[in-house]
Structure 1
Amino acid sequence: MQIEQRLDPLLTAALDLGPEASLRGADYRFTGSARLQHQAQVESNARSYPRRIPLELRRAEGIHVQDSEGRWFIDCLAGAGTLALGHNHPAVLQAIRGLLDGKRPLHTLDLMTEAKDDFINELFASLPAEFARDARIQFCGPAGTDAVEAALKLVRTATGRSQMLAFHGAYHGMTQGALSLMGSLGPKRYLDGMISGVQMLPYPYGYRCPFGLGGAEGERVGLHYIENQLKDPESGVLPAAGMILETVQGEGGVIAPSADWLRGIRRITREAGVPLILDEVQCGIGRTGKLFAFEHAGIVPDVLVLSKAIGGSLPLAVVVYHKDLDRWQPGAHAGTFRGNQLAMAAGAATLKIIREQALAEHAASMGERLAGHLCALQRDYRQLGDVRGRGLMLGVEVVDPDGPVDSLGHPAAHPQLAAAIQRQCLRRGLIIELGGRHSSVLRVLPPLIIRAEEVDQVAEIFMGAIRAALMEVKSITYE
């Protein structure tokens, strides 16, 4: 465990888990950084990442970040998938400097600029030709959730309907409309004002199939259920303005449906006359081993929502859709910061690098390598209940193999162990995230530029973290 020995003493010195800190929860903190203490004092109680990743970051390069005490970490969170080329990629920096040195406009609302036209051309060149040929683009506020709101307005205007179809486990953002489409109950439990008429449908979650079947049979039954919902005149479901889904669910636990299921959904929505909105805010731009995750199924959406990686590390969000839906009026969706010129320049450079260097194919290869390591660990540790995902969008569901099973035979989630593994990864210099049901899925989203030897490092650190976490949780259990 050479890597563990090199990194662990450094990070252990930073993680002051003194008498006031509890290993039972995910909310532990450094006590040695004045800025981290200040953050805890002045930032909102709604803050999230600093509770589990209590770092004060100072420098970043490639797949690594350095904290204020000089310790380096492998960043397998990467801005929740935003940093496709990693931190401070030379091509991105050059694009930004070129805009600044040329005294180009930085804020333009939605007026045309060279940077904007270059970005549009790069994005459309990246899209499948069948989709790009008849596509229109709407620039939105700089967050993906605003693009989701725009997509809702778009299909409602075009169809004259108001109902929406969404899926269990979905995450589409934190604005009111997007929250209405969310599977997770936590963020919307205490809020009124959700948009009415959202019908939630089963997403094909093979490991915890809602029908108790899993695999191809579970997907087949789910498709039959959805199709019946749309065709049955007594289903109680009104004709929908649109169906929205993540081509690969991220926050829901890294759940990747089969190509057959996606093709089935495309057939059902087309026959029902329901526009299909694909949210690829996280799974798009090479993440899954294709430039766009829907390409694995050979389908074409009616509407595509993009953000995160398309801005080359800076805020940018767009909706790309078929021209037949372009029936809304001028000003139907607007936003002051929909003309982020730096993000357009950085995004165009990022898209060009990903295409020219075949980084989507590289992500497929590196993802297969990492998944292989994780599956090997799964054979030794029954607590790793499921290893899944696509490309460099991977998840490991942590379970209690000796605990009770539910009525459908599913093993109990083990969020305490998942949180302990995340902590132990951090001690050893690896940043990963939690997600999924009961926060029991360890999520790995490294930059697409990660190399084979770095993948092997991630796997080795992960193995050491599992061993340490099992001891940690066992010691807590028997206190």
Structure 2
Amino acid sequence: MMTDKVRIDTLNANSLPQSNETFLARQAEFESNVRSYPRKLPLAIAKAQGVWITDVENNQYLDCLAGAGTLALGHNHPEMLKSIQSVITSGLPLHTLDLTTPLKDEFSSYLLSLLPGQGKEYCLQFTGPSGADAVEAALKLAKKVTGRSSVISFSGGYHGMTHGALSVTGNLSPKEAVSNMMAEVQFMPYPHEYRCPLGIGGEAGVKALTYYFENLINDVESGVRKPAAVILEAVQGEGGVNPAPIEWLQRIRKVTQEHGILLILDEVQAGFARTGKLFAFEHAGIEPDIIVMSKAVGGGLPLAVLGIKKQFDAWSPGHHTGTFRGNQLAMATGLTTLKILKDDNIADKVAAQGEWLKGKLAELQKRYPVIGHIRGLGLMIGLEIVKPNEAKDHMGCYPADGELSALLQKKCFESGLILERGGRNGSVLRLLPSLLITNAELEIFLDKFENALLGAGVKPV
């Protein structure tokens, strides 16, 4: 017994030297090579509050990643902790499969009320705990409803890492070692405000891409069979923070309705006030057939839900299941999050704050032209890092600089600022902070970011 006690004490993390290096070395020993964030953000987290993270060496970091957008209210919001404690002391089971509870009933009713038309035309499907699980369910349902097998997705899109979700994701890197991806996925170009995929740019580029999509669906010689679904993000996140033009989104909705193609909007990262609207598709005034929700919908705990137009709820009982779709703790924290977002008008606050922050970043851009482009909506903002000393392309854009972007992420970390990268070759620095971040905290971000620019050897002009 004494030997067992010694073994347990040896494994107790509190008995380890409290250094980031020690914990990272042990993580490398314990975990697969697939781990990614610790390679870019080499810390061991001891505690977190609001927008601040403290590591085991007592260093503080301003967190502008927030669990890749999952922590809409930041770390350990007091109302969130209270909701968890309420479930723990209530006697509710923590998981219920798809059996209902008074808590699930309240969560479902409230979430539906936030969907278009107060959810009167929608029903909910609780899937597995991740956004990718919900994407898989959405793709399966679209095929079941239509009897068709193909799907249209878009370059730069990100929908997850499971088999079907990866198949409709644009990034080629994780696909390289995977054979036999899901068949009949057709990728089309997604509009890009800074780097038009057609090489046209501006309003003309958007109009051309809009025509291109409609023509592909209508052209009997396109070579592309009518799809079961079109899946897209109204603001691409991992793809470099690219907002879809309103005209383009509206035309896609019109064409898909005319042809009986289900429109799936992936709101996993952009949803729940992140872009200054409750859902990013609301900027275009459209209603999707299926809404994919995860991340913030669970208030920081694992939960994924589909909003399905009732006319397309073609499932037979048990034809898509998942053990953890009854996560009661996540429904409690999710309900708390949704109520705070709505009651405190967080979307309006985020919309105004995003415009203010982009104005401040534009001032910074004048002094540091390596910031080639500032884009995004609300508190979902991207900064494309470029090579301003090299020749512009025919649209007036400098070459992207993924190497400097990576160095800037490192220097930000050293300055106590956590940012993620995205976009082609990782050239876009991305901001996804808590939606409750204050302007004073964003001023700290601006100071730390400028320090990182200087630390990376970027000289102001």
**TM-score by structure 1 length?**
0.90
The corresponding residue for 1:7 is none
Q: Counterpart of 2:283 in 1: which secondary structure?
A: helix
Provide, for residues 406-451 of structure 1, a one-character-per-residue CA deviation record: whole Å limited to 9, x for no partner.
6766422111110111111111111000110000100000100011
Distance in 2, Cα, partners of 1:367 & 1:410 = 24
Aligned partners of 2:124, 2:180: CA distance in 1, in Å? 29
CA shift for structure 1 position 270: 1.3
Match of 2:290 among 292, 299, 303: 303
Separation in 2, partners of 1:468, 1:363: 30
Partners of 1:282 and 1:32 in 2: CA distance: 29
Q: Aligned to 2:387, what secondary structure does the other structure show?
A: strand
Looking at structure 2, the residues matched to 410 and 195 of structure 1 have their Cα atoms a distance apart, in angstroms, of: 35
More displaced, 174-183 or 460-469?
A: 460-469
Aligned with residue 323 of structure 1, among 271, 289, 310 = 310
Q: Answer yes or no: is the 8 Å Cα contact 2:20–2:56 preserved in 1.
A: no
Deviations 1:265-297 (A, max 9, x none): 111211222110000000000000011111111
CA distance in 2, matches of 1:271, 1:220: 19
**459-468 or 180-189: bigger deviation:** 459-468
TM-fit CA distance, 1:32: 5.3
Q: 1:57 aligns with which of 35, 45, 54?
A: 45
Structure 2 residue corresponding to 1:42, chosen from 27, 30, 33: 30
Give the counterpart letter for 1:376 in structure 2.
E
Equivalent in the alignment of 2:3: none
2:221 corresponds to 1:234: yes
Q: Deviations over 1:393-412 (max 9, x none)?
A: 00000011223556766422
Q: Report the Cα distance in structure 1 between the residues aligned to 2:116 and 2:228, rounded to whole angstroms.
A: 25
**Does residue 112 in structure 1 map to residue 123 in structure 2?**
no
Q: For 2:152 and 2:226, how far apart are their aligned partners in 1? A: 10
- Where 1:401 maps in the other structure, the secondary structure is coil
Contact 1:278 1:303 in 2 (8 A): yes
Q: Which of 81, 86, 91 is the matching residue for 2:69? A: 81
The answer to which of 390-399 and 184-193 deviates more is: 184-193
1:332 & 1:223 partners in 2: Cα distance?
36
Per the TM alignment, residue 323 of structure 1 is displaced from its structure 2 partner at its CA by: 0.7
Deviates more, 1:277-286 or 1:410-419: 410-419
**Aligned position for 1:16:** none
Alignment of 1:226-265 (within 5 A): 226-265=213-252
Equivalent pair of 2:235/2:243 in contact (CA under 8 Å)? yes
Deviations 1:346-397 (A, max 9, x none): 0001000100001111111221121111111111112111100000000000
Distance 2:394 2:356 in 1: 35
For 2:124 and 2:393, locate their aligned partners in 1 and report how far apart those are by CA, in whole Å: 46
Indicate the residue corresponding to 2:421 in structure 1: 434
- Give the alignment's TM-score, normalised by structure 2: 0.93
Kept after mapping to 1: 8 A contact 2:20/2:55: no
- 1:373 is aligned to 2:360: yes
Between the aligned partners of 2:167 and 2:397, the Cα distance in structure 1 is: 27
DSSP-derived class of the 2:100 partner: coil
The answer for the alignment partner of 1:161 in structure 2 is 148
**SS of equivalent residue, structure 1 residue 65:** strand
- Mean alpha-carbon deviation: is it higher for 97-106 or for 36-45? 36-45
Q: Deviations over 1:180-219 (max 9, x none)?
A: 1011100001101211001101100121111112222111
Distance in 2, Cα, partners of 1:409 & 1:269: 34
SS across alignment from 1:200:
strand
Q: Which residue of 1 aligns with 2:206?
A: 219
Partner of 1:399: 386
C-alpha displacement of 1:33: 2.6
Q: Secondary structure at the match of 1:278?
A: strand
Q: Match of 1:104, as an amino acid? A: L
- Looking at structure 1, the residues matched to 454 and 201 of structure 2 have their Cα atoms a distance apart, in angstroms, of 30
Residue 105 of structure 1, CA deviation: 1.0
- Alignment counterpart, residue 138 of structure 1, candidates 105, 110, 125: 125
User: Structure 1 CA distance, aligned partners of 2:454 and 2:429?
Assistant: 15
C-alpha RMSD over aligned residues? 1.5
Deviation, 1:31, is: 7.9
Structure 2 partner of 1:4? none
Alignment partner, residue 90 of structure 1: 78
Any idea what the Cα deviations from partners look like across 1:50-90, whole Å, max 9, x if unmatched?
Answer: 11001100111111111001111110000000000001111
Shift of 1:344: 0.4
2:335 maps to 1:348 = yes
Gaps of 5+ in 2: 1-17
Name the SS of the counterpart of 1:305 in structure 2: strand
Which residue of 2 is the match for residue 12 of structure 1? none
Whether the 8 Å contact between 1:176 and 1:193 is mirrored in structure 2 is: no
Matched, 1:99 2:87: yes
Q: Is it true that 1:291 corresponds to 2:278 in the alignment?
A: yes
CA distance, structure 2, for counterparts of residue 73 and residue 175 of structure 1? 32
Q: Secondary structure of the equivalent of 2:67?
A: helix
Question: Is the partner of 1:395 in helix, strand or coil?
Answer: strand
Quote the residue 2:323 is aligned against. Answer: 336
Residues 1:409 and 1:190: Cα distance change in structure 2 (over 3 Å):
farther
Whether contact under 8 Å (1:366, 1:455) holds in the other structure is: no
- In the alignment, is the contact (CA less than 8 A) between 2:235 and 2:280 conserved in 1? yes
* Count of matched residue positions in the alignment of Structure 1 and Structure 2: 442
| 8 Å contact kept, 1:369–1:455 | no
Q: Distance in 1 between matches of 2:321 and 2:457?
A: 50
Q: In structure 2, give the amino acid aligned to 1:153.
A: K
What is the CA-CA distance between 1:258 and the residue it aligns to?
1.9
Instruction: Assess if the C-alpha contact under 8 Å between 2:289 and 2:308 holds in 1.
Output: yes
Question: How many Å apart are 1:37 and its aligned residue?
Answer: 1.0
1:186 aligns with 2:173: yes
SS at match of 1:99: helix
Aligned-pair CA distance for 1:456? 1.1
Is residue 121 of structure 1 aligned with residue 109 of structure 2?
Answer: yes
Partner of 1:467: 454
Whole-Å Cα distance in 1 between the matches of residues 329 and 134 of structure 2?
A: 19
Distance 1:92 1:216 in 2: 44
